[in-house]
Amino acid sequence: MALNNGMAMNNGLAKIETQKLKEEICHDDSAVPVKAHTLDELHSLQVKKSNPNTPIIDLQQTIFGSEADKNKQQLESISASLASLTRETGPKVVRGDPAKQAETPKVVHASHQHQHQHTPQFSNITDSALKFTHILYNLSPAELYEQAIQNEKGSFITSSGALATLSGAKTGRSPRDKRVVKDDTTSEELWWGKGSPNIEMDEQTFLINRERAVDYLCSLEKVYVNDQFLNWDPMNKLKVRIVSARAYHSLFMHNMCIRPTPEELENFGTPDFTIYNAGKFPCNRYTHYMTSSTSIDINLARKEMVILGTQYAGEMKKGLFSLMHYLMPKRQILSLHSGCNMGKDGDVALFFGLSGTGKTTLSTDHNRYLIGDDEHCWSDHGVSNIEGGCYAKCIDLSREKEPDIWNAIKFGTVLENVVFEEHIREVDYTDKSVTENTRAAYPIEYIPNAKIPCVGPHPKNVILLACDAFGVLPPVSKLNLAQTMYHFISGYTALVAGTEDGIKEPTATFSACFGAAFIMFHPTKYAAMLAEKMQKQGATGWLVNTGWSGGSYGSGSRIKLAHTRKIIDAIHSGELLNANYTKTEVFGLEIPNEIKGVPSEILDPVNTWPNKDAYKETLLKLGRLFRKNFEVFTNHKIGTDSNLTEEILAAGPNF
């Protein structure tokens, strides 16, 4: 603009004459003006209503019959889920975030049946009955991000778009705090006592803990409710409801369970199973059966699970897995703690293994379709994934070695307990400051070659993964059926000792069915089912050591992931089925003489140990540990075939 033209000199200073400039003022008229007169109006333009994830119930909808009825039914069902067992009615629930609600909400208040003899005869009005509980129902990942960032300290968006969260004091599962209600039915059916993961509690104590969780949840301003499915097998699908205090938990389960379509959600009805996750709110140590402030309680008769005093999200997914380990075998379907993938020709492989042995890593294979990374069912029709997402370990994760998992850590993914740089928010996957058990939970479709629906034909290969920190098990061996059963029931892996004071002894862990923490019946029940299915389908068993080679932990080194992948490739392709084998001493394992892409000298572990005596000594030591562990199973028959039982007992180490 020509300022100088309009200037007159006055006392040496330029005087600006604005009048004359009026016509010349620069207007930016290039954009159409906004259609709002106030900021509120502007903001109201930004967001449009949608179903079913709109958090605020539209009061106008009441006049349109069915839609509103459905909404009301949904809220009544949630109010019933959250009902105290000692008061007349469920809490006053209302949909939506209280922070966003301007008008007085329309309240739904479900009355519920008297389920308990101590129920008062008439209702005393209580403070809790006067308050609203706001329900954030099946929110989207974007909404849950906002909730987490606003309300939960330790929530951040990382540079790749994932939601970083902290799980609080617990960064892993608490198996010693798991309780299962022992009633007339379960006392007969389930596996109790030594070695069993099922630690008993009575019905009354369960109700005390349930009431504690429900009262805590209803005392909050808002709770998150997820209605989702388990199991991709349409005949054996389960409806689950997860009630939780944190957006982090809601997003975790959104990713891990099967996500309903809007139509499925609208017709969801009553859930088959409900989790009450009170997170950080502890149990009362004066309560019978409680030995810490954490309690994870399963009541099969009530179809409910209560979580008190832990925010570790894995409790929810593994709690549901325990449930499946009860329900599925009753329908002659075998539940499996395994990953699962399928080749282009439809050949399916199962990857059994304890935590950290490679189920997620090895089932995520760029050349194969991923069916699932952790929990499956094997029915007469084939395999199905129980879940809708994966839960990968991220310690030392690298883009080069695990590109598919790396790329899945993007918007929508929950990243637990990782450390990141404060400014750019780049995650340092090598950092163990919070825990070594850092995790990423993402929907299965974040893996590019996920097979959706996550089902497949009968398995051709059953791969047992053991991370042997003693370094004496071969990188791969072919198993006969009896050996497969022996190793399946043993469920061996090794944990490495704390890394602080130099080299320490690795400790052997034996976990029946490669998941003793989650089984409900005696291990031999699952083993018999597996034997029958493998025999019928002609599946081959393999033992793969993803642990140490060339010495035990401390002197040897971990078998290269690249080598393990070549071994797995050779199993899938059929190359290994027809290879030449040599039998090892002590364990009697058949090891291949060569595999494409793998140095032949590593195939027999004795070659990799500089000190052969130390190798033999360690081998015998592990053999004794196997023997000792198997003692408790020697009196059990496996299936109806007594020959098989004999063969299984003979399939262990021989020395």
Ligand X SMILES: C=C(OP(=O)(O)O)C(=O)O
Ligand Y SMILES: Nc1ncnc2c1ncn2[C@@H]1O[C@H](COP(=O)(O)OP(=O)(O)O)[C@@H](O)[C@H]1O
Catalytic residue list? 173, 318, 337, 355, 359-360, 374, 439
**CB closer to ligand Y out of 483 and 564:** 564
**CB closer to Ca ion out of 6 and 175:** 175
| Residue 129 touching ligand Y (CB under 6 A) | no
In the complex, minimum distance from the CB of residue 355 to Ca ion, in angstroms, rounded to a whole number: 4
Using the rule CB under 6 A, give the single segment among 5-13, 341-349, 390-398, 628-636 that binds ligand Y: 390-398
Size of the site for ligand Y (CB under 6 A): 17
| Residue 95 touching ligand X (CB under 6 A) | no
Residues of this chain, 148-207, that bind ligand Y according to CB under 6 A: none
In this chain, which of 79, 81, 209, 357 binds ligand Y, going by CB under 6 A?
A: 357
Residues of this chain, 593-612, that bind Mn ion according to CB under 5 A: none
Structure tokens at 335: 């539940």
Residues of this chain, 113-132, that bind ligand X according to CB under 6 A: none
**CB closer to Ca ion out of 355 and 438:** 355
Structure tokens at 78: 């949630």
In the complex, minimum distance from the CB of residue 356 to ligand Y, in angstroms, rounded to a whole number: 5
Q: For 282, list phi and psi in degrees, rounded to 5.
A: -80, 165
Using CB distances below 5 to 8 A depending on partner kind, what does residue 173 bind out of ligand Y, Mn ion, ligand X, none? ligand X
User: How are beta strands 304-308 and 369-372 bridged, if at all?
Assistant: unpaired
Rounded-to-integer distance, Cα 213 and Cα 124, Å: 21
**CB closer to ligand Y out of 180 and 571:** 571
Using the rule CB under 6 A, give the single segment among 25-33, 67-75, 198-206, 351-359 that binds ligand X: 351-359
Kindly tell me the burial class for residue 607, based on how many C-beta atoms sit within 10 Å of its own C-beta (0-12, 13-18, 19 or more): middle
Sequence-distant (≥ 6) Cβ neighbours of residue 599 within 8 angstroms: 563
- Cα separations (Å) of 418 from 157, 199, 314, 462? 12, 32, 15, 33
Characterise 642 by phi-psi region: left (phi > 0), alpha (psi -120 to 50), beta (else): alpha
Rounded-to-integer distance, Cα 100 and Cα 94, Å: 12
In this chain, which of 173, 222, 241, 249 binds ligand X, going by CB under 6 A?
A: 173
Q: Pseudo-torsion of CA 90, 143, 231, 446, nearest 10°?
A: -170
In the complex, minimum distance from the CB of residue 36 to ligand X, in angstroms, rounded to a whole number: 49
User: How are beta strands 419-420 and 163-165 bridged, if at all?
Assistant: unpaired
Using CB distances below 5 to 8 A depending on partner kind, what does residue 361 bind out of Ca ion, ligand Y, ligand X, none? ligand Y
Helix 314-330 vs helix 523-537: crossing angle, to nearest 10: 70
Site string for ligand Y, 8-27 (x = CB under 6 A): --------------------
User: How are beta strands 376-379 and 419-420 bridged, if at all?
Assistant: unpaired
Residue closest to Ca ion (Cβ): 355
Q: Which amino acid is at 91?
A: P
**CB closer to Mn ion out of 132 and 351:** 351
**CB closer to ligand X out of 356 and 592:** 356
Q: Which of 200, 241, 238, 239 shows the shortest CA–CA distance to 217?
A: 241
**CB closer to ligand Y out of 139 and 394:** 394
Q: For the chain, how far is it from start to end, CA to CA, in angstroms?
A: 98
Tell me if residue 346 falls in helix, strand or coil. Answer: coil
The b/e string for 487-504 (b: 16+ C-beta within 10 A; e otherwise) is bbbbbbbbebbeeeeeee
Residues of this chain, 335-364, that bind Ca ion according to CB under 5 A: 355
Using CB distances below 5 to 8 A depending on partner kind, what does residue 564 bind out of ligand X, ligand Y, Ca ion, none? ligand Y
**CB closer to ligand Y out of 128 and 607:** 607
| Residue 440 touching ligand Y (CB under 6 A) | no
In DSSP terms, which residues pair with 455 in a beta bridge? 384
In this chain, which of 355, 438, 511, 540 binds ligand Y, going by CB under 6 A?
A: 355
The 10 Å Cβ neighbour count of residue 417 is 22
In this chain, which of 374, 375, 387, 569 binds ligand X, going by CB under 6 A?
A: 374
| Residue 337 touching Mn ion (CB under 5 A) | no
In the complex, minimum distance from the CB of residue 57 to Mn ion, in angstroms, rounded to a whole number: 38
**CB closer to ligand X out of 147 and 493:** 493
In this chain, which of 205, 335, 546, 608 binds ligand Y, going by CB under 6 A?
A: 546
Residues of this chain, 358-417, that bind Mn ion according to CB under 5 A: 359-360, 374
Size of the site for ligand X (CB under 6 A): 9
| Residue 391 touching ligand X (CB under 6 A) | yes
Q: Which of 388, 405, 387, 384 shows the shortest CA–CA distance to 396?
A: 405
HSE-CB at 494 with a 13 A cutoff on CA atoms is 25
Sequence-distant (≥ 6) Cβ neighbours of residue 254 within 8 angstroms: 138, 139, 141, 144, 226, 228, 443
Taking CA 33 as the corner, what is the angle to CA 29 and CA 35, rounded to the nearest 5 degrees? 175
The 10 Å Cβ neighbour count of residue 220 is 14
In this chain, which of 87, 222, 359, 478 binds ligand Y, going by CB under 6 A?
A: 359
Residues of this chain, 348-367, that bind Mn ion according to CB under 5 A: 359-360
In the complex, minimum distance from the CB of residue 360 to ligand Y, in angstroms, rounded to a whole number: 3
Using the rule CB under 6 A, give the single segment among 141-149, 356-364, 496-504, 560-568 that binds ligand X: 356-364
Q: Looking at residue 556, what DSSP letter applies?
A: S
Q: Looking at residue 579, what DSSP letter applies?
A: S
| Residue 318 touching Mn ion (CB under 5 A) | no
| Residue 356 touching ligand Y (CB under 6 A) | yes
In the complex, minimum distance from the CB of residue 248 to Mn ion, in angstroms, rounded to a whole number: 19
**CB closer to ligand X out of 173 and 572:** 173
In the complex, minimum distance from the CB of residue 416 to ligand X, in angstroms, rounded to a whole number: 10
Please tell me whether the peptide bond between 453 and the residue prior to it is cis, using omega within 30 degrees of 0.
yes
**CB closer to Ca ion out of 355 and 608:** 355
| Residue 322 touching Ca ion (CB under 5 A) | no
Q: Which of 221, 217, 218 shows the shortest CA–CA distance to 281?
A: 217
Q: Pseudo-torsion of CA 481, 483, 485, 491, nearest 10°?
A: -150
Rg (CA), the chain: 29
Residues of this chain, 310-339, that bind ligand X according to CB under 6 A: 314, 318
Using the rule CB under 6 A, give the single segment among 145-153, 340-348, 388-396, 489-497 that binds ligand Y: 388-396
DSSP 211-271: HHHHHHHHHSSEEEEEEEEE-S-GGG-EEEEEEES-HHHHHHHHHHSBPPPHHHHHT--S-
| Residue 353 touching ligand Y (CB under 6 A) | yes
Residue closest to ligand X (Cβ): 355
Which residues are near ligand Y by CB under 6 A?
Answer: 353, 355-362, 392-393, 395, 546, 558-559, 561, 564
Binding site for Ca ion (CB under 5 A): 355
* Residues in touch with ligand X (CB under 6 A): 173, 314, 318, 355-356, 359-360, 374, 391
